[in-house]
Structure 1
């Protein structure tokens, strides 16, 4: 799928995934971690969400996403480059939580370049979001929004949204009105 105004870096596919919503909620209840607040690259709060719920089957989901990202490599001019997983985490958003617009392609570089410095990896990063819950069934609100493309993405379990992490693909999540929104967020790097 191309974005409506010609920015054609957003890809949406549908995968067959097991119903994981209850397993994620059960795992979180066994080891509830307080929701954390993170800042965007411009210092604004990203919002509150629970990160990295440990759940059975997460590794299989990551491998499923890896295969999809590898199959998209040529579309992003990454053909022939080695792929590596930079991060993977289960995100669990509860009522009232969301995330303001931000870009994912940033690494804190305080130790090497000074306090508050952010380094961008423009040429080698893809973000892949795999929905594990469905809007209207598991939660209300919580739409993924790409303002540069004027695109809102509805959440359906198994929907995989892939896009470059750089500033052209800034995105955010509207506040959850009820229920809980869960997804697997993975970040992939390609050798330069």
Structure 2
């Protein structure tokens, strides 16, 4: 697959899903966790985000995304490989939050290779983001952007954005000006 600018490998689909906005808000109010700052391998802050709200229905959403990723496997030369879920989390971005440009193909490998070591998964990882909120209704700002592809994506409930995790697909999120942006982030691995 040739992706000179990173645009060719970005896939967008629109799925009919249940409205989870109130479920997420209720789950957050019942068990709020403080925002944390997460760093990329380069040490730059990725922004202040709140991760992994325990909410009813998350497993069903992950399964919907799995089915979509499996149908995309052939487009990424992953057809016939076993798929596994590497991570899933509900991301909540509140006013003032955002995420600098980064790539997702990095794993901390402290246990095996030493503190601060990062491993890259160049050829076997897909990221799939499923929007659970809508720009202009639930939040303002918070655009997903891919600078290498000169592409900005508006958030709409049910929009699925899938792309490889490697450096050609660097992406970020502009600052939330108001409201709350929520989505399900999943990372999928394929056997090599």
User: TM range, normalised to the smaller chain?
Assistant: over 0.9
Task: Evaluate the alpha carbon distance shift between residue 6 and residue 50 of structure 1 in structure 2; reply closer, same or farther with a 3 A threshold.
Answer: closer
Task: Evaluate the alpha carbon distance shift between residue 143 and residue 6 of structure 1 in structure 2; reply closer, same or farther with a 3 A threshold.
Answer: closer
Query: Are the counterparts in 2 of residues 4 and 150 from structure 1 also a CA contact under 8 Å?
Result: no
3-state SS, counterpart of residue 177 of structure 1: strand
3-state SS, counterpart of residue 71 of structure 1: helix
- In 2, the alpha carbon distance for the partners of 1:20 and 1:28 equals 12
Tell me by how many angstroms 1:116 deviates: 1.6
Q: Which runs of 4+ in 1 moved over 4 A?
A: 3-6
5+ residue gaps, structure 2: none
Query: Are the counterparts in 2 of residues 4 and 149 from structure 1 also a CA contact under 8 Å?
Result: no
3-state SS, counterpart of residue 184 of structure 1: strand
1:15-26 to structure 2, matched below 5 A, reads: 15-26=15-26
Tell me by how many angstroms 1:40 deviates: 1.2
Query: Are the counterparts in 1 of residues 6 and 148 from structure 2 also a CA contact under 8 Å?
Result: no
Query: Are the counterparts in 2 of residues 132 and 156 from structure 1 also a CA contact under 8 Å?
Result: yes
- How many positions carry a matched residue from both structures? 190
3-state SS, counterpart of residue 163 of structure 1: strand
- Give CA-to-partner distance per residue, 1:130-176, whole Å, 9 cap, x none: 00000000000000010100100000000000000011101000010
3-state SS, counterpart of residue 121 of structure 2: coil
- Give CA-to-partner distance per residue, 1:29-68, whole Å, 9 cap, x none: 0000001100012110001111000111111100000000
5+ residue gaps, structure 1: none
Query: Are the counterparts in 2 of residues 86 and 188 from structure 1 also a CA contact under 8 Å?
Result: yes
Aligned to 1:150: 150
